[in-house]
Amino acid sequence: MPAPPPAKPPAAYRRLRPRHVLRMLRIARTFAKYGLDELIGAIPFFRPYAWVSRLVPFRNRVVRTHTHGARLRLAMEELGPPFIKLGQILSTRRDLLPEDIIGELSALQDAVPSFPSDQAAAMVERSLGAPLEESFLEFDREPVASASIAQVHRAVLPDGEVAAVKVRRPGIERVIETDLAVMFAFAAQAERYLTEARRLRFVAVVGEFAKTIHDELDLEKEGAHASQLRRNFHNNPVLRVPRIYWGHTTRDVLTMEWVEGLPIDEPDKLAEAKVDVVEVSRNAAEVFFQQVFRDGYFHADMHPGNVFVGPGNQLRVVDFGIMGILAADQRRYLADMLLAFLRRDYTRAAEVHLEAEYVPPDTDMVAFEDALRAIAEPVLDRPLQEISMANLLMRLFQTTRRFHMPTQPQLVLLQKTMVNVEGIARDFNPEMNIWLALQPLLREWMEEEKGPTRLWNELRQEAPEWNRLLPRLPRVTSAFLERAVNDELVLNLRGPQLDQLRQEVRAGIRRLAFTWTGATLLVAGAASALIPGLGARLGFPAWWLAAGLAGAGLAAILWSLVDRRR
C-alpha cells in the first residue's frame, strides 16, 4: 500500500515566529548532542547542523556508552515537560517504535521541581476571585506533589473538609503551545522528506498528543472526568473516586476531596496494615471490567503512583487528566476478540477484526488468521499465572504494517491500562490471572448484550427516530421503488467488493420489505380501530382485528431489527 501524501499541521500551528525558530535550533542541538542525527539529518535545513555535531567530543562519548533508546530518553528529559509528556505517550505506541526504545521511554518520569508557593497562592486567588483566606481555612504552602503541568497543595475548606488543591503551573500553556508548533513543524518536514514518516503519520501522532495535553491543561475538564467516574461507581464500593468541589474549581485550579490511603507500590506498608492481597487483586479485576465493558469509560493512567488502598481493601484513584472512551460496538468487539483468543479460536478472532473494520475488506483472512495464531500462541501457551492479554494486544499492534490496520487510539490507551491493572493484580497475587477470573463475567456480559434486554433497550432508544420516519416511509419507499422500476438507480460496483455488496443489497431489500410491511400493518391496525361499526359487520370486536394487524406489524419491524443486528 503506497504511503499517503504529506500531511499539513493544523492552521493554528503553521505560522512560526522567532521564538519557534530559536526553540527548533535548541531541539536540533539537543538531538545532535545525543547522537540522534537521523531525527534531524533527514530534513535538509538541519543537515549542516547534524554534520557539524559529529565533531563534538561529548556526543561521540554518549554514542559509545548509551543505546539509541537511552539517548532518546536523555534528550527528551533535557528538552523539558512537553517532550517528557510526548515520550510517555510514545511509550504506548508499540505499533510505531521498536521494543528497546519503548522500554527506555517508559522510564520517563513526569516529576519536576515545584514552583514557588507565592505563585501558587496568587494563581488560586486570581482563579477563584477571592483572597486565599476567604476560600480556605488552611492552605499548606508546601506542595505534596509536583509535576510538569501542575502541583498539589493540601487545604481545608470553610466547612472543615480536607481537600487537595491542584494548581496549574504559571506560564505552562505558552511553553506547551511553543513546543507543539515546533513538533508539528518537525513532523510536517519529516513527512515531506521521509516515506516512513508519512506511513506512520507523524503529523497525526503529534495531533493526538496535542489533544491529550490540552485536556490535561484544562483542570475543569479533569474535574468533569472525575465526576463521571465517581457517578459510574456510585453503587460499587470497590473503587472510591474523590468528590470535586466545583465552587473551588476553575480551568487553572482543581479542588477535590483529600484521598487517604496506602500507596499500592509500597508492599511493606501494605503488609504491615494486613491488607488482603487476594481481595485487592479481585477488586482490581472488577474495577477494570466495569470501567471498560459496562461503562466504556476508563481511567487511562492507572500507574502505581495514582492508585491507593483504603480501608476494606478498597481501591482509590487520583489524577483524571487522561480518560479512555469505548463506544458500545467497540466494547462488544473487544470482548468477542478477547474471548476468541482465550478459546484459541483464531478463525473467530479474525472475523471479529473484519466485522469491526480493524482490517480492510480485501484482507487475506487465511493469512490474517495464521498471523493471529503466531501472535497469540507464544502468549497463551504459558503457565496460567503468566498469561498477559496486554502483551497479546501489544503484539497485535505490531502487525499493523503488514495488514494495513489503522491505529485505534482508544485501544492504545486501553493496552496501557491493561498493563497497569495486570501489574497490580500480579504484584498482589502472583498466582492469579485476572483474565481467567474475568472470563465468566465477559461471557455473561456478552450474553446480555446479545439478548432480549439489549434489543428492547435499542428499540426504546430508536423509538423517537421511528416516530419521525414512519409518516414519511410510504412516500420515500414509493419514490425508491419507482426509480428502481424506471432504471434510474445508479450503482458503482468494484470487482473485489461485488459479492459483499450483493449480499448487503439483498439484506437491505429484505429489511426494507419487512419494515414497509410492518409499517403498513401498523397503520392498517390503527385505521381499523377507528372505522365506525366495523365490528358489527365483521361479527367480532374490531379491536381483535386492530390488535392482530398491529401485532403482525410489530413482529415484522422487530424481525427487520434482528436481521440488521445479525
Q: Note the helical H segments in 273-380.
A: 277-289, 328-342, 346-355, 365-380
Neighbour tally for 159: CB within 10 Å = 7
Other C-beta atoms closer than 10 Å to the C-beta of 459 total 14
- Grid cell 554534520 is found at 51
CA atoms of 170 and 252, how far apart (whole Å): 9
| Spatial separation of the C-alpha atoms in residues 126 and 250, rounded to whole Å | 10
> How many DSSP H helices and E strands does the chain contain?
27, 11
54 CA to centre of own chain: 41
Positions marked catalytic: 301
φ, ψ dihedrals at 310, nearest 5° = -105, -175
Pairing of strands 150-156, 262-263: unpaired
| Integer Cα distance of 504 and 473 in angstroms | 21
Element (H, E) at 151: strand 150-156
> CA 290 to CA 239: how far, in whole Å?
10
Alpha carbon 135 to chain centroid distance? 36
Of the candidates 260, 258, 249, the residue with the CA atom closest to the CA atom of residue 154: 258
Separation CA 526–CA 550 (nearest Å): 7
In the beta sheet, which residues pair with residue 146?
Answer: 151
Q: Measure the CA–CA gap between 186 and 83, rounded to whole angstroms.
A: 13
Under 8 Å between Cβ of 199 and 44 = no
